[in-house]
Amino acid sequence: MRLPFHQQRNARVSARGLARNDGAARERLQTRVRVIVRATRAQFGPMQVPRYRALIVEARSRLKADPNLGHHREGLPPEARIFHISQPGRPASHFFLYWVDVAESRIEVLRVLHDATDIPRYWPVGQDPP
Residue 8 in contact with residue 108, Cβ under 8 Å?
Answer: no
Of residues 89, 16, 8, the one with CA closest to residue 51: 89
Residue 127 in contact with residue 36, Cβ under 8 Å?
Answer: no
pLDDT along the chain (130 residues), means of 10: 35 37 75 91 94 92 88 80 92 90 76 86 61
User: Residue 102: inside a domain, yes or no?
Assistant: yes
- Tell me how many domains the chain contains: 1
Q: In which domain, by residue range, is 34 found?
A: 5-121
Res 38: pLDDT:
93
The backbone torsions φ and ψ at residue 38, rounded to the nearest 5 degrees and listed phi first, read -65, -40
The enclosing domain of 67 has a CATH number of 3.30.2310.20
User: Residue 49: inside a domain, yes or no?
Assistant: yes
